[in-house]
Amino acid sequence: MQKESLKQQLQNLSSQISAMHLDHLERKWITISLLVIGFFVGIMTIDAFFHGINPPGKVETVDSASLHLSKEFAEENLGVQVDDQGNITVRMVAGRYSFFPKHISVPAETRLTFRWVSMDVLHGVHIPMTNMSTMIVPGYVAEITTTFPKPGEYPMLCNEYCGLGHNHMWSNISVIAKENWTTPAKLVSKGGPSHE
């Protein structure tokens, strides 16, 4: 019954649209607009399903005002850490106007988990030519898993306007060939820091 009425409504709508007078130019621009929308939806679909670019899927909170007192994001725990199973986690803090630590080295062709927090305002982090791009919202942990396929020097840029020094907010990341990368000895964690 309801299906029938929906079908009826669609038929009415399509007959109304075909009865509507549309100027040739107007029709042309409607078509162009729909093609542009279709193009962008297509790009998003390809990025999501083939390039693995997705919005973060979990919510984890942190107290941005006391990061230095937290177990995980205290200054001595920042940077690259390897746990007992060999999983590599990179913890970084974004603050006006830098990322801390300022420079890190990671191995290529290895799965890396980045955990980002902000100490003040909204920041973003973007590493060109990779799938690394996320907002760093104060009060939340932004976690991204990525792999750098090729060794090289990559910039890390802030891509959310955060104040007058925003355009100077960037850091470096050295991606080193897997066989040449050495575990940062002093940062090998024992069981990994507990999350609070």
- Residue 90 binds Cu ion (CB under 5 A): no
Please say which residue, 90 or 162, places its beta carbon nearer to Cu ion.
162
What's the CA gap between 74 and 94, in Å, rounded? 13
Residue choice 77, 122, 135, 166 for contact with Cu ion (CB under 5 A): 166
Q: Which is nearer to Cu ion, 70 or 159 (CB)?
A: 159
| Cβ-Cβ contacts under 8 Å for 62 (sequence gap 6 or more) | 70, 72, 73, 117, 139, 140, 141
Number of residues counted as binding Cu ion (CB under 5 A): 4
Q: Is 169 in the site for Cu ion (CB under 5 A)?
A: yes
The residues pairing with 157 across neighbouring beta strands, listed in sequence order, are 126, 170
Interaction residues for Cu ion, span 133-162 (CB under 5 A): 158, 162
Q: 50 to each of 42, 45, 143, 144, how far by Cα in Å? A: 12, 8, 20, 17
Nearer to Cu ion, 149 or 165 (CB): 165
- Report residue 188 as tokens: 């090998």
CB atoms within 10 A of CB 77: 16
Please say which residue, 108 or 162, places its beta carbon nearer to Cu ion. Answer: 162
Tell me: does residue 126 bind Cu ion (CB under 5 A). Answer: no
Q: In the complex, which residues of this chain contact Cu ion (CB under 5 A)?
A: 158, 162, 166, 169
